[in-house]
Structure 1
């Protein structure tokens, strides 16, 4: 499944405290929690994910919705 490919690509490039990828085969959602996002703008965080996925973003993935948090941001959201 492409979800597994996306999951593996992100996990191999970013040290994640939490990672979830779901989708319908063309449209995907990813929640990534990593302290590597600390002091990075939203755009920089997205670029990190795009770099991890490489050419898959052009060829295999039609759309990817991303929610990208540091561990502290994640804790604030989830109590």
Structure 2
């Protein structure tokens, strides 16, 4: 685990006191020189109770603003309340493989 990965875990843990927190480094799924720059966050927290999905994502983005302005290029965010998690934990979306960004074929 690199420093950026650990920082994401530490910040989310401190801000949201999560019941479940899974931070995955998905940089290996991306083309080019992506190293420790693509992450997926699965977080279950009571802090999300009563908040819509967009508000939850904004909270996570605000918490990780420094990382998103620096080393983190892509962040997949999956936020859940405890009730959401009871039905969703087996349905967390898989991240797609990278299409190559500027290397993608244009038809």
Separation in 1 of the partners of 2:63 and 2:5? 14
Normalised to the residue count of structure 1, the TM-score between the two structures is 0.91
Paired residues, number: 79
TM-score (normalised: structure 2): 0.69
Higher gyration radius (CA): 2
RMSD: 1.3
Q: 1:27 aligns with which of 20, 38, 41?
A: 38
| CA distance in structure 2 between the aligned counterparts of 1:11 and 1:60, rounded to whole angstroms | 19
| Larger deviation, residues 63-72 vs 50-59 | 50-59
Q: Which has the higher contact order (CA 8 A, sep 6+)?
A: 1
Unaligned stretches of 5+ in structure 2? 28-35, 91-107
Q: As a proportion of its length, which structure holds more strand?
A: 1
Report the counterpart of residue 18 of structure 1 in structure 2: 20
Q: Of 67, 76, 82, which aligns to 1:56?
A: 67
Q: Which runs of 4+ in 1 moved over 3 A?
A: none
Unaligned 5+ runs, structure 1: none
More helix per residue: 1
